[in-house]
A and B are shown apart, each in its own frame.
Chain A
Amino acid sequence: MTSNDSNLNNAPMNTQPDAADAHVHANLSRTLPAMEIPGSVSEEQLDRWTAPAAIPLAARPVVRSRFKRLVPLASAAALALAAGAAMIWHSSASTVQAATILRSLRENTFSGLRVYVSNMKAEGIEVNLDARMHFDREMTAVELFNLEGNHAEPKLSSMYAVATVKGDATSQAPGLDATAEVAFSPEADWVYTKINQLPEIEELRGNPMANFVTAAAQRGVLLDLGRDSLRQGNTLLGIPALGQMSDDGDDEFEPGDLPPTIRQQIELDIAKGVVGADGNPANLTAEQKAEVERRMNAMFAGINAGHAEGPGARVRPGSPTPAAGSLNEDQVLQRMMPLLQGTGGGAAVDQFAQMLRGDSSVFSSVTVTNQGNGSYLLVSTLAPDEQNHTATISMSYTENVGLQYVEITNFSGMPAGAKVRVEMFSGAIPAEMFDRSRVITPQTWVIDQNFLNMFR
């Protein structure tokens, strides 16, 4: 019997279709052609869907988002420079003109910040970053800082960032070349990572898990938090979306700041250290539990101590003042307040200009260049600190437009091209930034909640 013959068996027993079927045939002939029916799938789709296996990503500790810190610090620098520049380039003019510029600065609004980090290098690891943060409303710098005490904190409505990390031969990850993208918006929240080149790390050779993870990362991994995560608080791998990070507003990094699943993983790791790799952490004695808690607290104390000593440490009101003659951040803002609120008059303007010029512990030099068309460029050099670190801060200001950007260059110990630049902008982040199809290829792994549910 041939295959064609066998198919005859599929014919109805009664070769004359029943009357009902004839009507079905007629009605389908009329109805189906008018319907929009999804098409066939392509070979490319089939290849993408059946690409080899997934990555059981282990939850890992994440460093608390420094976003809330970054924004005010960057903006503080911008504001201080803008105000200072206004004082300096109009120092020979009347204070009335200076006050006009300050008022315009105070009234200029923006809805987003863009931060570039270029060629920053430390211990052989070079980082490049382009991050855009968009807020839920247009605001002035005064509102962003809530300097008048009556403005609600702006909320992050969307964010896009792309970063590259490269390790040279002197780094702990020689040869590493990796890319990461982060996109948070009401339409799509995702994180994408791809290793373009693996580091040559002896310890990783032959480690099956390391090989598995790095092999996957070489293909590109997209973690999808789902839509509108910023507002809904979706989590993936226990990691909340950016806007939902636990942050109680203080500067201490505490266990409670971590997502529960990650905190539990850390506790488990510490417990294994206490009872030994062969012991069962679930059977801890009271003493062992106390020891786990003590080690946990010690770990966070160490992190906070390191952070407090770092260059980004914030000096809080009431805390000891820095070296004699220098001003901490709060003191600078305090002196700026009368200017930004427009209540200080000419005396406040003169005082602030004097602060920037005269405080040699902050700036070793300040120059202003009139670039024409109402644009000015202020370049100031930070006085060396105790470790002899210095940098150059440039600020561009355009009359009737406002602050254009603030740029920090010439970092001590950094490559010549190292740069941090902060721009203020209005309008939304371009929609194409959030289109994840840009990064998805047939090889890319897309991991989302549904995927993870299969392992639960």
Chain B
Amino acid sequence: MTSHPAPLAMNELTTRLTGRLAPGRTGAERDAGSNGLPHAVGGELDGATVLRAFREAAGGVHRMLMVRTRNDAALCDDLMQQLWLAARKVPADLTIERFQPWLRGVAKNLLASHFRTASSPSRMVTADPALAMQIASALENPQPGELLTTNEAREQLLLALTELDGEDQELLIAHYVHGQAFAVLAERMRMSERAVEGRLYRARKELRQTLTRLTK
């Protein structure tokens, strides 16, 4: 039984994929960051920038937590509140480019801390590097066999998918889960279909590489 979430709202997807955190910034300025996020002045993040960056990253991080907790919504809700508290104390030397990876690291630490004291630690989904490697190979195989249909493999695939940054996650989900065509995505993202295709290529490549890098 599969239940798909509602498709992303147009402006939400557009904002996430174009990374326009600071309205009015030029294209050159946006390109300055590898993930499209703006550099904060002097390498320090002010409160408004952190808030915008957190809201940008929240969807992907929340999905990562949901997958790792087997959809424990209440727990993830708590963790996201704690994550925001941690984000408010962002290290002084953190740049906006490093914000999302840093936030993900904090989220994983919070989750690990929770499960260290939880009554049901077995509910936490952990990476299986060997299986993840097999999945990476299977994905590149024209005849992957039954591996990709097993629950264990799908769990690892989800782990890898939610390890991607928010933009790649959203794009892969929009295209492969919600079936949104290049033309639709191009219109929403305000870019050419070829550019969308390029981004999807990069996202798939990142997913494969992430599978080979999954560690416990």
Name the B residues within 8 Å of A28 (CB-CB): 139, 172, 176, 204, 207
Q: Contact check, B31 vs A6: say whether CB atoms are below 8 A apart.
A: yes
Query: For the complex, is A10 an interface residue (Cβ under 8 Å from B)?
Result: yes
Give the distance to chain B from A456, nearest Cβ to Cβ, in Å: 11
CA distance A6 to B198 in the complex (A): 12
Query: For the complex, is A450 an interface residue (Cβ under 8 Å from B)?
Result: yes
Give the distance to chain B from A306, nearest Cβ to Cβ, in Å: 38
Query: For the complex, is B4 an interface residue (Cβ under 8 Å from A)?
Result: yes
Q: Contact check, B201 vs A21: say whether CB atoms are below 8 A apart.
A: yes
CA distance A184 to B62 in the complex (A): 28
Q: Contact check, B202 vs A10: say whether CB atoms are below 8 A apart.
A: yes
Name the A residues within 8 Å of B207 (CB-CB): 24, 28
CA distance A4 to B170 in the complex (A): 19
Q: Contact check, B119 vs A451: say whether CB atoms are below 8 A apart.
A: no
Q: Contact check, A449 vs B141: say whether CB atoms are below 8 A apart.
A: no
Query: For the complex, is B33 an interface residue (Cβ under 8 Å from A)?
Result: no
| A-contacting residues, B18-39, CB 8 Å | 18, 27-28, 30-31
Main SS at interface, chain B: helix
Query: For the complex, is B15 an interface residue (Cβ under 8 Å from A)?
Result: no
Given contacts A8-B195, A23-B142, contact A31 B154 (CB under 8 A): yes
| B-contacting residues, A211-258, CB 8 Å | 224, 226-228, 232, 234
Name the B residues within 8 Å of A40 (CB-CB): 5-6, 8, 12, 59, 170
Shortest Cβ distance from B155 into A: residue: A35
Name the A residues within 8 Å of B62 (CB-CB): 38, 41, 45
The answer, among A6, A35, A53, A226, for a CB contact under 8 Å with B118, is: A226
- Among A4, A38, A449, the most chain B Cβ lie within 10 Å of the Cβ of A38
Name the A residues within 8 Å of B63 (CB-CB): 37-38
Given contacts A11-B194, A232-B119, A450-B79, contact A3 B142 (CB under 8 A): no
Query: For the complex, is B190 an interface residue (Cβ under 8 Å from A)?
Result: yes
Name the B residues within 8 Å of A1 (CB-CB): 27-28
Q: Contact check, B54 vs A50: say whether CB atoms are below 8 A apart.
A: yes
CA distance A21 to B204 in the complex (A): 7
Main SS at interface, chain A: helix
Q: Contact check, B176 vs A7: say whether CB atoms are below 8 A apart.
A: no
| A-contacting residues, B26-74, CB 8 Å | 27-28, 30-31, 51, 54-55, 58-59, 62-63, 66-67, 71, 74
Q: Contact check, A49 vs B58: say whether CB atoms are below 8 A apart.
A: yes
Name the B residues within 8 Å of A446 (CB-CB): 77-78, 81
Q: Contact check, B82 vs A454: say whether CB atoms are below 8 A apart.
A: yes
Shortest Cβ distance from A454 into B: residue: B86
Shortest Cβ distance from A437 into B: residue: B74
Name the A residues within 8 Å of B122 (CB-CB): none
Given contacts A10-B199, A29-B176, contact A37 B84 (CB under 8 A): no
Query: For the complex, is B148 an interface residue (Cβ under 8 Å from A)?
Result: yes
Q: Contact check, A454 vs B85: say whether CB atoms are below 8 A apart.
A: yes
Q: Contact check, B142 vs A450: say whether CB atoms are below 8 A apart.
A: no
Instruction: Tell me the count of chain A residues lying within 8 A, CB to CB, of chain B.
Output: 57
Shortest Cβ distance from A8 into B: residue: B195
Query: For the complex, is A63 an interface residue (Cβ under 8 Å from B)?
Result: no
Query: For the complex, is A48 an interface residue (Cβ under 8 Å from B)?
Result: yes
Give the distance to chain A from B133, nearest Cβ to Cβ, in Å: 15
Name the A residues within 8 Å of B2 (CB-CB): 33-36
CB within 8 Å: A-B pair count: 171
Given contacts A8-B195, A38-B63, A38-B66, contact A451 B85 (CB under 8 A): yes
Q: Contact check, B191 vs A7: say whether CB atoms are below 8 A apart.
A: yes
Give the distance to chain A from B197, nearest Cβ to Cβ, in Å: 7
Query: For the complex, is A439 an interface residue (Cβ under 8 Å from B)?
Result: no
Interface string of B110-139 (1 = CB under 8 A from A): 100110011110000000000000000011
CA distance A449 to B117 in the complex (A): 9
Name the A residues within 8 Å of B78 (CB-CB): 224, 446, 448, 450
Q: Contact check, A450 vs B198: say whether CB atoms are below 8 A apart.
A: no
Name the B residues within 8 Å of A4 (CB-CB): 190-192, 195
Query: For the complex, is B93 an interface residue (Cβ under 8 Å from A)?
Result: no
Name the B residues within 8 Å of A33 (CB-CB): 2, 4, 176-177, 179
Q: Contact check, A10 vs B198: say whether CB atoms are below 8 A apart.
A: yes
CA distance A231 to B177 in the complex (A): 43
Name the A residues within 8 Å of B179 (CB-CB): 33
CA distance A227 to B120 in the complex (A): 9
Query: For the complex, is A388 an interface residue (Cβ under 8 Å from B)?
Result: no
Q: Contact check, A50 vs B51: say whether CB atoms are below 8 A apart.
A: yes
Name the B residues within 8 Å of A454 (CB-CB): 82, 85-86, 89
CA distance A451 to B106 in the complex (A): 12
Q: Contact check, B114 vs A24: say whether CB atoms are below 8 A apart.
A: no
Q: Contact check, A23 vs B85: say whether CB atoms are below 8 A apart.
A: no
Query: For the complex, is A12 an interface residue (Cβ under 8 Å from B)?
Result: yes
Give the distance to chain B from A442, nearest Cβ to Cβ, in Å: 10
Q: Contact check, B5 vs A12: say whether CB atoms are below 8 A apart.
A: no
CA distance A163 to B199 in the complex (A): 56
Query: For the complex, is B80 an interface residue (Cβ under 8 Å from A)?
Result: yes
CA distance A391 to B138 in the complex (A): 80
CA distance A8 to B199 in the complex (A): 9
CA distance A37 to B170 in the complex (A): 11
Give the distance to chain A from B206, nearest Cβ to Cβ, in Å: 11
Question: Can you name 5 extra interface pairs (CB under 8 A) apart from A27-B139, A50-B55, A446-B77?
Answer: A8-B194, A10-B198, A11-B195, A15-B194, A446-B78
Residues of A participating in the B interface, judged by any CB pair closer than 8 Å: 1-4, 6-8, 10-12, 15, 17, 20-21, 23-41, 45-46, 48-51, 53-54, 224, 226-228, 232, 234, 436-437, 445-446, 448-451, 453-454
Sample (22) of A-B pairs whose CB atoms are under 8 Å apart: A2-B27, A7-B198, A17-B201, A21-B205, A24-B207, A27-B139, A28-B172, A36-B3, A37-B161, A37-B173, A38-B66, A40-B59, A45-B80, A46-B55, A49-B58, A49-B77, A50-B51, A50-B55, A51-B81, A226-B117, A446-B81, A453-B113
Residues of B participating in the A interface, judged by any CB pair closer than 8 Å: 1-6, 8, 12, 18, 27-28, 30-31, 51, 54-55, 58-59, 62-63, 66-67, 71, 74, 77-86, 88-89, 110, 113-114, 117-120, 138-142, 144, 148-149, 154, 157-158, 161, 170, 172-173, 176-177, 179, 189-192, 194-195, 197-199, 201-202, 204-205, 207-208
